[in-house]
Structure 1
Amino acid sequence: MNKTSSFSRIATSNIQDEQTSTPASSGANLPLISFIVVNYNYGRFLKQCVDSIFAQTYPRIECIVVDNKSTDDSSQVIANLELSYPGLNVIREPENLGQSAACIDGFHKSRGQYVVLVDADDYYFETFAETHFLVHLTLPNAVGFTSSEMMQVVGDSVVLGNVMTASGTPFRSQCHVVEIDEVSALAKAQEVGLCRPGTLENLPLRGVRREAIEWVWSPTSGNFYRRDALALFIDCAQLRTLRCATDAFFNFAINAFTGSVLIDKPLGAYRIHGDNLFARHAALNNMCHFPIEMDEGSLAAKMALAHVIANAQRFADKCLYIRTFPQSLSILGRKAAQERSKRGLARTLRKFSLSLIKLYWEIKLRSV
């Protein structure tokens, strides 16, 4: 899918600061939304990614590109983008620090009340920011982040309309249906100056239960975080050492304390091009589409658990109900414990099962 034509109307006026933002009818300004694009040797995709951010229908956007010492043509692409978008912020790292460290540096430079961490090879549809914000605005219970569907794109072609594992039967028990009053939602949208018919109409939403320990969200670029939720974990001492799986670190940790909400509508594109760190190919039902060794969810949860324990008093003081703190610790502990089973016992059981299957079919074929 090529979104270039829809980006031709982009104007740098999409960047607005506190002094120039348009007040809503309530007298309050719309919140700033920060997109933090992490780039390493994705110069061939970077322009479309940044163009799609500045093409958002939501009027208060800032974009920060963090370049991890790319060795391709990224520097020239970034220089051209700076000419096209004078408000673009760029961080040029002295070396390739990995995804998490780049996200941390981008977060500290950002100002938005909502933050989106972006892989430079992905891109967005124009209502991404607006839809996520309106969902946060109208949810009956506040959550730490929302996650929207993404189409899977190979080359220039859309091959699948979803990426969220929660679409499959095994993980539906981790979710529950979320209802919003569309009349009330429309009134709230009008109150803050966002009134686009259909944005929230029949929008399918599912809440993720706090106790979920299996991945049900979109990859990095599909997640839309509350800044104060990220702030709970951004200062984790070990986080900079996690070179990938930054989304797993934040999603499992934040969800354990606040829950999250899935938006079952594609609002962006997840590009599969052969050089992805995680996906090897577009998903197939029941087939693993990524290298097992790249699944760092348990390690990420272990880091988050250590961070919470090291800052136990701070987290306990922030929890409204006393039971939330031990429950969240337990959830992260169960996720962290999967590391041993996946890399030890599970591998042994898999090998044993394969041996049994092979033996069965050898006997079966001999009897034919």
Structure 2
Amino acid sequence: MHSIQDRPSVSIIIANYNYAHFLPRAIDSALSQHYGDVEVIVADDASTDNSAEVIASYGNRIKACRRKANGGHGAAFNTGFAASRGGIVLFLDADDYLYPEAVSEIVANWEDDTAQMQFRLHLVDERQRIKDIFPPPQVPFDSGDVTPQLLRRARYQTTVTSGLAFARSALDVIIPVPESEFRQGADGYLVTLAPLYGKVTSLDVCLGAYRMHGNNHSVFAEKLGQRARWRVEHDFHRLQALADQAGDVGLEVRPDANLRDPVHLEERLASLCVDSRRHPVAEDSRLALATAGAVASMDMNVSLRRRAMLAAWFLSVGLLPQRMAKAVLSWKLVASSRPAVLARLSRTIRHVVG
């Protein structure tokens, strides 16, 4: 593989807010990389727990950047990036961690035209026990030039913050992250815009761990409607940022791109079903969203069987009576809500359908 230089420097930026309990594991994992030129930056977003003491205990082995006021995910990214120098930049959430070979693997597979690299993560619990892989192995990453997918449906198959690495050249163009729009989910902003400036390279290996616990921003098991509304609005912010950035490079995003994205349509349908009074799009209807979702499902980069199953799920949520539709919807989006027999069936289907 061709690297951006013979031995590119690498920055690992750890974004932290009140994760003092998890932070040492994240910092230790960054400091333990089997690669020489790595700087570790901790961008602390005005934590109120004992994160400051944890950070201070590492002395000059890390670069500490403490924000005076809490600004959210995007603000922490901006602060850490401003202090960094690496030609390749990783953003690591403070509750996650990397494996020692992560940076070496990233550099070994980096090419001159790579803007973003993505890799899989082990899903682990609070005790670091491996529970699964994210994204699931049967869901292929999208790689290469993903711009056509972005322009058409504003999404491609990627991953979360801790499974990503970026070329500094791409980040220089798209950072600062808009802080009010991306208080959470700043990785969504980066993965939406970075591919406009190079290709996406994917590694089908687990190079770190994505820790699942009750305080993850992405975990709203008991607040399905709240989660869905946030994700719908987050997608609108991503689409606007994409449209603005695409215009700067002479490209045009489809104005109805979100309506071609099954992930967006799933959350939009959830928002409407669970709490229609607070749903952000007044003109939406269950049937219209479900129909769009079924059509979009058939265009996904997964097996035909998997596409057909998702399309059938969309149509069932759109056509069933409201109460039954809510149950079917929650069974898919919140694993803990599934009856035991359905949970077993879901696990079986997942391993059978590739």
State the TM bucket, normalised to the shorter chain: 0.5 to 0.7
The answer for the alignment partner of 2:321 in structure 1 is 355
User: CA deviation digits over 1:283-339, x for unaligned, max 9?
Assistant: xxxxx9x93233223422312322454xx2xx3xxxxxxxxx32xx32697259867
Q: Residues 256 and 292 of structure 1: is their aligned pair in 2 closer, same or farther, counting only changes over 3 Å?
A: farther
The answer for the alignment partner of 1:162 in structure 2 is 133
Contact 1:123 1:268 in 2 (8 A): yes
1:131 to 2:131 alignment: no
Which residue of the other structure, out of 32, 35, 40, is the alignment partner of 2:17? Answer: 40
Contact 1:208 1:261 in 2 (8 A): no
Q: CA deviation at 1:143?
A: 2.2
Q: CA deviation at 1:214?
A: 3.3
1:1-368 counterparts in 2 under 5 A?
Answer: 30-82=7-59, 86-137=60-111, 142-164=113-135, 167-168=138-139, 172=140, 175=142, 206-207=143-144, 209-212=146-149, 213-235=154-176, 238-239=178-179, 241-280=181-220, 291-295=227-231, 296-309=234-247, 312=248, 315=249, 325-326=250-251, 329-330=252-253, 334-335=257-258, 342=268, 344=281, 348-349=286-287, 352-355=318-321, 358=324
Give the distance between the partners of 2:125 and 2:255, measured in 1 at CA.
Answer: 34
Give the distance between the partners of 1:336 and 1:72, measured in 2 at CA.
Answer: 41
Contact 2:78 2:175 in 1 (8 A): yes
Q: CA deviation at 1:255?
A: 2.1
Give the distance between the partners of 1:279 and 1:134, measured in 2 at CA.
Answer: 34
Per the normalisation by structure 2, the TM-score is 0.68
Q: CA deviation at 1:123?
A: 0.3
| One-letter code aligned to 2:148 | E
Q: Residues 113 and 88 of structure 1: is their aligned pair in 2 closer, same or farther, counting only changes over 3 Å?
A: same
Q: Residues 66 and 231 of structure 1: is their aligned pair in 2 closer, same or farther, counting only changes over 3 Å?
A: same
Contact 1:68 1:92 in 2 (8 A): yes
Q: CA deviation at 1:243?
A: 0.3
Task: Give me the CA root mean square deviation.
Answer: 3.3
Per the normalisation by structure 1, the TM-score is 0.65
| One-letter code aligned to 1:219 | V
User: CA deviation digits over 1:218-257, x for unaligned, max 9?
Assistant: 2101101000011121146x34541011111111112244
SS in 1 for 2:133: coil
Give the distance between the partners of 1:257 and 1:113, measured in 2 at CA.
Answer: 15
What are structure 1's unaligned runs of at least 5 residues?
1-27, 176-205, 282-287, 316-324, 360-368
Contact 1:166 1:217 in 2 (8 A): no
Q: CA deviation at 1:358?
A: 4.2
| One-letter code aligned to 1:248 | G
Q: CA deviation at 1:60?
A: 0.5
Q: CA deviation at 1:273?
A: 1.2
Give the distance between the partners of 1:90 and 1:347, measured in 2 at CA.
Answer: 49
What are structure 2's unaligned runs of at least 5 residues?
269-279, 291-316, 326-354
Contact 2:246 2:253 in 1 (8 A): no
Which of structures 1 and 2 has the bigger CA Rg?
Answer: 1
Question: What number of residue pairs does the alignment pair up?
Answer: 272
Q: Residues 225 and 335 of structure 1: is their aligned pair in 2 closer, same or farther, counting only changes over 3 Å?
A: farther
